Amino acid sequence: MTLSSLTGAILLAVTALASAYCGWLLGRSRGRARLRERKAYEDEMVRSAALGRERARQEREEIEQRLTRLQLEHVECGERARALESEIRERDTALEQLQVEIVASRQALAESTRLAERLQLRSEEASAPEWLSCEGDGEFDDLQSIRGLGPVLEQRLHELGVRRFHQLASMREADVEWLASRLRILPGRIHRERWADQAREKDTSKHGKDI
């Protein structure tokens, strides 16, 4: 082998070794870059996981606090509901008692009204003037001939038992108010129209005697 051939072979071998070494260096650099990237990714995942755990812990604490508040509110609502139920029962009892009292009061009022009516009737009967029973016999006198007495008042007088002149002529001062209240007129009208005097005059003229 000649010297030139040997030199060429050596150069080729050196070139090959250099190329291989450069390829090895390049591969190693790329491997380190991938390792760095993987390490950065893993670190990011660790940080994300830590942040996630922290957020989860905070949310869990917030949920627990809300749950505690809700439990307290539930207890308070239960107590208020029981208090309202007790108040409603008390009011229902009071309402029932009031209804019983109302019924009893109505019954007592009705009884009092009936008693008052009976007492009023007795009072009216007891306080009726004596001259109402002094009707006498014979036909009714013409009460409308007395000035101020019309058919309506005459009918009312008949219902009270006043049918004769001498009955009106027998009225006393205390009887005027009693008669006026039954006829639903003012006592002054009886005085002003002189019913008693007119009745006395007409009775005297009719029967020829003075009362």
User: Tens-of-pLDDT digits for all 211 residues of the chain?
Assistant: 576 777 777 778 778 787 777 778 777 878 788 888 888 888 888 888 888 888 888 888 888 888 888 888 888 888 888 888 888 888 888 888 878 878 877 776 676 566 445 544 444 544 666 666 655 556 788 999 999 989 999 999 999 889 989 899 988 888 888 899 888 889 899 999 999 999 999 989 887 655 5
- Expressed in angstroms, the distance from the first to the final Cα of the chain is 198
Question: Is-contact 167 200, C-beta < 8 A?
Answer: no
Under 8 Å CB-to-CB from 183, ≥6 apart: which residues? 153, 156, 157, 160
- What are the tokens at 157? 């007088």
The Cα 64–Cα 72 span in angstroms is 12
Strand (E) or helix (H) holding 68 = helix 3-127
| Number of helices (H), then strands (E), in the chain | 6, 0
pTM, whole model, 2 decimals? 0.40
What is d(CA 143, CA 186) in angstroms, rounded to the nearest whole number? 19
